[in-house]
Amino acid sequence: MSAEQQYIELYQETKGMLCRHSAQPLNALREQAFEDFKQLGFPTRKVERYKYTDVAEAFAPNYGLNLNRIAIPVNPYEVFKCDVPNLSTSLYFVVNDQFYDKALPSAQLPEGVIVGSLKDAADTHPELVKKYYGTLARTSKDAINALNTMLCQDGLFVYVPKNVIVERPIQIVNVLRSDVDLMVNRRVLIVLEQGASVKMLFCDHAIDDRNFLTTQVIETYVGENAHLELYELEETHVKNTRFSNMYADQQTYSTAVLDNITLHNGMTRNRTDLTLSGEYAETTLNGLVIADKEQQVDNNTLIDHKAAHCQSNQLYKYVLDDKARCAFAGRVLVREGAQQTTSQETNANLLGSKEARIYTQPMLEIYADDVKCSHGSTVGQLGEQAMFYMRQRGIPYDEARMLLKFAFAADVLQTIKLDALHDRLNYLVDKRFRGELSKCEGCKMCK
């Protein structure tokens, strides 16, 4: 049986159950997604944007699903005691794909702001969800979008109304929790209306020693003059496989800071597509990957400059060791008419061993004549002279390596605007390089 076939059969057999335990706006796109998935199949490596990941292989194993929505016995608020100094967030949990609403944080959100289950929002605010759901993550274009749209039942919905500024950062901890191997299809929809502003932190964890396969689709709308900061942090374990597609659309004068950090994982594929639809929009897209053992991380980005006077900055750094195999492919597209675009794309990589591999492919495509764009990538080893200089001062070999790796990663961390998060990440990255973060023991952000 081909890898696709099991998902096709799964859908055909469980369609009724899928729909019963979800909501109409989500169900409405299922059938088309199914047709698109059948049509597309899993992308082979011949598909440009999937060159570096064997998708069919990742989806071949047979995982269980929780289509019946059986409640998972866990109280994340007890499992994760948050005592991060100075990082006071509104803390929420999503267990697998279910928003945990049993004990919500006492902190009040500003009026009209919604942070909650996507399914519930689709029931209570169907017109709002319908307006945005599935419009960025097109199922005809990407098999992961199609598969997720066909199978997802719930996830997260974040809505910030016009001119509302959410001061306190919103922290979402995605917890993978299961006693058997599990496939999770999580869906996230984020809408910032005109002039809205929010900072969010998504932390992904896997608390059980099981094989997990997650598909996640995030659709983000950043309205006119709205401001979004979204930090995504993966800190799972080596048995975790993640396919995450993130789409964001930015309107005039909006700003977005998106950070994607892979601290610890198994196999990760992140697709990030940003569209600058309105003039004078600004986007900062940063990534940090720390991988060793046989970890794999494939970041594939597209920044689509559709409007004039926009600015994009992209910096992805990888620190690889052992037999890690990673890829970065980033395409910046400046369309006809997107004059006065400023764009910078940098991918820098540090390889700590001979067996570590990085495939790097920065791409710049320009169809406008009055633009300032640059792109480039570097691959380097730990500097021998610097290593020796440190060792001559008595610093042991492993620690010298760690200091150099940390130094290399530091400038991505510096782009994090939330001071407390920045400090916390410095601490976590340091621990990671010391090898003290080799398995997920719950939310390190909170311990």
Which residues make up the interface to other proteins (CB under 8 A)? 383-386, 388-397, 399-400, 403-404, 406-408, 410-411
CB of 330 to other proteins, least distance (A): 23
Tokens of 391: 């060792």
SS3 of 339-382: the string is CCCEEEEEEEEEECCCCCEEEEEEEEEECCCCCEEEEEEEEEEC
Of residues 103 and 407, the one with the C-beta less far from other proteins: 407
Residue 245 contacts residue 147 (beta carbons within 8 Å): no
Q: Tell me the closest approach of the beta carbon of residue 264 to other proteins, in angstroms.
A: 22
CB 288 to other proteins: min, Å: 13
Nearer to other proteins, 46 or 393 (CB): 393
Counted residue by residue, the chain has a size of 447
Q: Nearer to other proteins by C-beta: 72 or 403? A: 403
Token digits of residue 233: 């942090």
We find the least distance from the C-beta atom of residue 246 to other proteins, in angstroms, to be: 28
Nearer to other proteins, 413 or 437 (CB): 413
Beta carbon nearer to other proteins, 122 or 350:
350
A 10 A CB-CB count for 298 gives 22
Taking the complex as a whole, the smallest distance from the CB of residue 162 to other proteins amounts, in Å, to 42
Task: Quote the least distance from Cβ 387 to other proteins, whole Å.
Answer: 9
Closest CB 327 distance from other proteins, rounded Å: 24
Give CA–CA dist 318/321, Å, rounded.
10
Place of tokens 């002039």: 195
Task: Burial-class residue 381 by CB neighbours within 10 Å (0-12, 13-18, 19+).
Answer: middle
Nearest-approach distance from CB 426 to other proteins, in angstroms: 11
Tokens of 150: 């066909």
Q: Which is nearer to other proteins, 225 or 286 (CB)?
A: 286
Q: Which residue number, 131 or 391, has a Cβ lying nearer to other proteins?
A: 391
List own/partner pairs for 84-87 with CB under 8 A and 24 or more apart.
84/420, 84/424, 84/445, 84/446, 85/420, 86/419, 86/420, 86/423, 87/169, 87/418, 87/420, 87/421, 87/424, 87/445
Nearer to other proteins, 12 or 385 (CB): 385
Q: How far is the CB of 383 from other proteins (least distance, A)?
A: 8
Cβ closest to other proteins, residue 211 vs residue 286: 286
